[in-house]
Amino acid sequence: MRSLFQEELELISEQLVEMSRLAATALDRATRALMDADLALAQQVISDDQLIDALRRELDNRAIDVLARQQPVATDLRQMVTALRMSSDLERSGDLARHVAKLARLRYPGAVLPEQLRPIFAEMAVTAEQMVLRAGDIVAANDVHGASELIQADETMDRLHREVFRILLDPSWTGSTQHTVDATLLSRYYERFGDHAVSVALRVVFLVTGVWHDEQMPGAYERFTTSVPREDD
């Protein structure tokens, strides 16, 4: 029974990693559709979101089946429940990529973003994609220390998010009302995408240490990860 449980757990971990890759691909394609006014690519992102949704359903059904058949307790139970929550984060990441693609489709053939904002959103997209891929690596390796990298990357994302609003609120901003609304929505989509990646990594910390915390608590992450030895220590 224990061997079967471990096999199921490995399959669930692999599915979480695959979800992270699909989410990164979706955001990359959605961003290209946004920048290039590519209607076909935007539609592909919207259609392909069902792949992430289907993978989440499969993962959740597998986890629930394991809970029902093997009735895990303590650490095993924590692994299953945490996997369910991580699948939710990654599925929502895919939804955010779909939102970007839908906006590109809505404004086609026009440009969603004025030239002034394009470099910022390009950087936000790259940062977000790297974050979700790193989250997948953290899941695969149960890397409790990797979460600190994503927390730092999220600070970059938050800085870019604030920069978008600084530009929009500056008296020199000449964009239309539509540009302002679209940029506000897009900035939120990318920022939330990064938040979900951080959430996945922090759930890995909980999985390994058994300690959960509000990520807004200053110093909480450092307090309970400094006691976990690194593999090269």
Q: What is the CATH number of the domain that holds 173?
A: 1.20.58.220
Of the pLDDT bands very low, low, confident and very high (cuts 50, 70, 90), residue 213 is low
Instruction: State mean pLDDT over 178-206.
Output: 96
What is the reported pLDDT for 34? 98
In tens, the pLDDT along 32-50 reads 999 999 999 999 999 999 9
In tens, the pLDDT along 6-25 reads 888 899 999 999 999 999 99
What is the reported pLDDT for 89? 97
C-alpha 231/C-alpha 228 separation (Å) is 9
Quick one: 104 exposed, middle or buried, by C-beta within 10 A (0-12, 13-18, 19+)?
buried
For residue 191, tell me if it sits in a domain: yes
For residue 233, tell me if it sits in a domain: no
Question: Global pTM?
Answer: 0.89
φ, ψ of residue 46 in degrees (nearest 5):
-60, -45
**Are 108 and 42 within 8 A, CB to CB?**
yes
- 26 pLDDT higher than 60: yes
For residue 232, tell me if it sits in a domain: no
In tens, the pLDDT along 84-138 reads 999 999 999 999 999 999 999 999 999 999 999 999 999 999 999 999 999 999 9
Token reading at 194: 């990064």
Q: Residue 189's CB: how many other CB atoms inside 10 A?
A: 21
For residue 231, tell me if it sits in a domain: no
Q: Which amino acid is at 89?
A: D
Instruction: State mean pLDDT over 217-226.
Output: 44
Lowest model confidence (mean pLDDT) among 69-83, 147-161, 172-186, 214-228: 214-228
For residue 211, tell me if it sits in a domain: yes
Number of structural domains (the chain) is 1
Q: Residue 146's CB: how many other CB atoms inside 10 A?
A: 18
**Are 52 and 94 within 8 A, CB to CB?**
yes
Range of the domain at 126: 2-225
For residue 18, tell me if it sits in a domain: yes
